[in-house]
Structure 1
Amino acid sequence: MSRRLVILRHARAEHGFAGPDHDRSLTESGRAQALEAGRRLALAGLVPDHVICSTATRTRQTLDGVLAELPARPSVEFEESAYAADLDTAFALINAADPDVGTLLLVGHNPTMADLASAFIDDPGLVSFPPASLAVVDLEVEWLYAAPGTGDGRILDGEGQVGKGEG
């Protein structure tokens, strides 16, 4: 079975929010970005079987927008450890995915989502992973063995095309 990892940074969120960072919501433009990310996934035929999403408000709202545009509803796991995840934690979440999952979507935060994409994209030009960025990784191994360099990663552009390191 082939495995595909889709990496999504949450869409644009409020700045200067008076409450806890975990509770920051998407802006109106962020809501539009989330819908557009879902359209890009659908257009590229990248419908996840399973989603691991940070518990932060902005990642949940991003996921809601994405799911509204997909033709099928994946199973969803809200994971507290994805909120403040470093690269090792992100890989631990991926490594724990059910072996029957073919396409896994991970919705999280920078700098970890950028670091995760960079672990698979062999392009020194990838220096940015702005809000609602999507990267797609075709893994050569089972989830349990996913690690830097075990797959071929690309940025998913605005037309649903998978391009190398465009950002």
Structure 2
Amino acid sequence: MSRTLLLMRHAKAEDGFGSIDFDRALTDEGRDQAERVGRLLKEKGYAPEHVVCSAAARTRQTLDGVLGAMDQAPEVDHTEAAYLAGPDGLLELITYVDPAVDTLLVVGHNPTIAQVAASFIGEQAMAAFSPATVAAIDIEVEWLYAAPGTGTGRILN
């Protein structure tokens, strides 16, 4: 059974000058980017059943834009652990996902999102992960065993 892991970097956010990083909001361009990604995922037939999303403002707003363009509302876990996670920590969060979930969307931050994508796709993913980039990874194991080498993927946009 194949599962799909969608890894998305948050859309374009304010520069954060004079504000707390966690509270940075999306720019108008970022809101447009998030909605475009939602339409792209829908057009390509991706329908996440579950989402792991950093609790930061910009990732929550990105997710709102993505889901606003889709037909269904998946179960969402907003977690500070995804905000603080490095690649190993993010992969650990993925291993906790219910095995009944076929498509998982993770919305997070760079460099972690790009590093996890690169561990499946290859190093070229590191340079490709500008704001609102999403990768689709076909995972050939249950989420519990998801790790580099258990799937292959590509950048979608």
Q: TM-score, normalised by structure 2?
A: 0.96
Matches within 5 A, 1:132-143: 132-143=132-143
Identity of aligned residues (%): 55
Aligned partners of 1:2 and 1:39: how far apart in 2? Answer: 23
Identify unmatched segments of 5+ residues in structure 2: none
Contact 2:48 2:74 in 1 (8 A): yes
- SS for the counterpart of 2:88 is helix
Deviations 1:21-59 (A, max 9, x none): 000000000000000010110011101000000000000
1:161 maps to none
User: 1:115: how far off?
Assistant: 0.3
2:20 maps to 20
2:63 maps to 63
Aligned partners of 2:60 and 2:124: how far apart in 1? Answer: 30
User: 1:125: how far off?
Assistant: 3.3
Q: Does 1:74 align with 2:74?
A: yes
Structure ranking higher in helix proportion: 2
User: 1:18: how far off?
Assistant: 1.5
2:124 maps to 125
- RMSD between aligned alpha carbons? 1.0
Aligned partners of 1:3 and 1:16: how far apart in 2? Answer: 36
2:86 maps to 86
User: 1:141: how far off?
Assistant: 0.7
Deviations 1:109-157 (A, max 9, x none): 00000001101103x4332300000000000111000001110111112
1:163 maps to none
Contact 1:17 1:24 in 2 (8 A): no
1:156 maps to 156
Contact 2:118 2:124 in 1 (8 A): no
Aligned partners of 1:23 and 1:156: how far apart in 2? Answer: 28
Aligned partners of 1:47 and 1:31: how far apart in 2? Answer: 20
Deviations 1:76-113 (A, max 9, x none): 11111000210011100111100110000000000000
Q: How many residues align?
A: 156
- SS for the counterpart of 1:114 is helix
Aligned partners of 2:149 and 2:71: how far apart in 1? Answer: 31
Q: Does 1:2 align with 2:19?
A: no
- List structure 1 runs of 4+ shifted beyond 3 angstroms: none
